[in-house]
Amino acid sequence: MAQQIADRRDQDFVLYEMIDITQLTETEKYADFNKKTIDMVLNEARNLAVKEILPTQKTGDVEGVKLENGKVSVPPSFHRPYELFCAGEWVAMADDPSVGGQGLPHAVALACGELFTGANCAFMMYPGLTHGCGNIISSVGSDKQKELYLKKVFSGEWGGTMCLTEANAGTDVGALETIATPNADGTYNIVGNKIFISGGDSDLVSNVIHPVLARIEGAPAGTRGISLFIVPKIWVNDDGSMGEDNDVVITGVEHKMGIHGNATCSIAFGGKGKCRGTLIGDVNKGMKTMFLMMNEARQGVAMQGLGFASTSYINAVNYAKERVQSPKLTDFLEAAPKAATIINHPDVRRNLLIMKSYVEGMRAMLYFMGFCFDKVHTATDAAEVDKYQGFIEMMTPIAKSYCTDKGFDVCALGIQVYGGYGFIEEYPQAQLLRDCKITSIYEGTNGVQAMDLLGRKLGMKKGKPMMDLMGEINKAIANAKAAGLEDLAGKVEVALGKLGECAMILGGAAMSEKVLDAFGSATLFQEAAGDLMMAWMHLWRATVAKGKIEGAKKKEQAFYEGQVITAEFFINHMLPVGLGKMEAVKGLTSSIMAMPEDAFNA
């Protein structure tokens, strides 16, 4: 059975029928695009993903990466698709053509990203991190830094990373020990060791550009004293040519549970005292610079969760339609009942519908967030820009955590549908589960996302972004009622009100002596918020689909009916679990912090 990736019909539904991406083509920024152009881009992305990248998923997992004599080599099968990926200018899909990008709307780039990530996430981490590095240079780099690095990074000729983590400075980045010492020529000597650096080196590129967090000697302690530096693996001369090795040494490659095709490296900077870098951004503002890119990076990890889930779901559906096992329950009384395909069995179908509801809900949420990015860059009214930026701020920690947690859950159900075969590495489902797990850990663990949501986002601008988001959900509720979906809309309305109550209770507790109890419930609150986001998206989907069922052709009619039924399933069957979480949050348990430390171990 051939493996597939994301459902194109559903991608089109979200892009064209839900968020109406074509409205962006009426703006000056995206005037060169129309539906035909966007369709062509998506077709090309799918062809590259299915024909070139997807075949490397298994080979990359089996072959892994190698470190020999200080050089990292990736799975051999990665080289051809990487060359094609760069030739197609996919590294910088949504960036300006003047720096080597395609200038695509962000929402369209996300749709392409879902295809690429669903094909092979480990492969996509190389160009993905390279783009993140380029984005930093594009946003805060000096004219000289942009001249030296930007086009070669955005073209994929050079790779890029993000070097934050150290052995004693993971989540607590402020504890880092990497030191930068100023030189007379304006450069800095860099000395320190970084770990868990994805794409830290590879034989796909001729140079790797490392944005490195370090502390200038004498700078304040903690995050207030961290600066960011551009440190190339091979020094880049003022004329753009490559110079000497820059004392950047790969000391190890991690052997991981998944994403075996990506090089997760330990790197020593300046072990011989000859590593140089240049300051990017302002002194002691390195964390602020990194956080400029955090929303997009975390949205990218959420997209990875969706990519894994989408591929696992499609595999499971196709398998369930072909795998014959046991008669239908209604046929057991027959004299010689025939075995049926397993999609006819209620529990298998239940698993598939859970998978479908999460995948399609997450797709809608992430594409909508991409659309918000586009509105921020195209809206001419300051209040509108502020509103859409607020949506991004509020939804980012929810999307990152929910899509990665539920992406993992979907992959687990994908194994369940296959039964014993799902647990065997010969089939793709096991690898998808293994590869997916890292997404809830990197770019800030999902617990950190919950702390960000409660500690920063709920109270941002005196709660205005939260209120704006609730207002947007209320619009969807009103539209659904007008479309004849009063029952579903009413249930989402109840959930919205209850989540608002939770936010008030947690927010108040976080500013009181119960602060630790509040943060002990932050993850549960974040999960409940994600459940509400899914209900919102499905209500929106059903509202759009309901008016198109009558008069549609048979296949399209089934698609639209499926949207309404999926919404009914999620809101009636899954959302009540979210309501239970909200009740638990409102209870503000003290048990978490009251438990004696010694009681955790007999």
238 exposure class (CB count in 10 Å sphere: 0-12, 13-18, 19+): exposed
121 exposure class (CB count in 10 Å sphere: 0-12, 13-18, 19+): buried
Contact 300, 278 (CB under 8 A): no
Question: Cα–Cα distance between 517 and 559 in angstroms, integer?
Answer: 45
382 exposure class (CB count in 10 Å sphere: 0-12, 13-18, 19+): exposed
**Cα dihedral across residues 561, 566, 571, 576: positive or negative:** positive
Number of Cβ within a 10 Å radius of residue 455 = 16
**Does 561 participate in catalysis according to the annotation?**
no
Helix axis angle, 382-418 relative to 464-482, nearest 10°? Answer: 70
Q: Name residues whose C-beta falls within 8 Å of residue 347's C-beta, 6 or more positions apart in sequence.
A: none
Out of 443, 501, 561, 583, the active site residue is 443
Question: Cα–Cα distance between 18 and 406 in angstroms, integer?
Answer: 22
Alpha helices (runs of H) in 453-574, residue ranges in sequence order: 464-482, 486-510, 515-520, 522-546, 554-569
Question: Cα–Cα distance between 174 and 179 in angstroms, integer?
Answer: 12
Q: Name residues whose C-beta falls within 8 Å of residue 271's C-beta, 6 or more positions apart in sequence.
A: 191, 247, 249
Question: Cα–Cα distance between 504 and 23 in angstroms, integer?
Answer: 36
Displacement of CA 72 from its chain's centroid (Å):
26
What is the token pair recorded at 401?
């955590």
Question: Cα–Cα distance between 6 and 539 in angstroms, integer?
Answer: 21
Q: How many residues does this entry show for the chain?
A: 602
Longest dimension (CA), the chain: 92
- Render 501-535 in DSSP notation, one character per residue: HHHHHHHHHHTSTTHHHHHHTHHHHHHHHHHHHHH
Supply the residues annotated as catalytic.
443
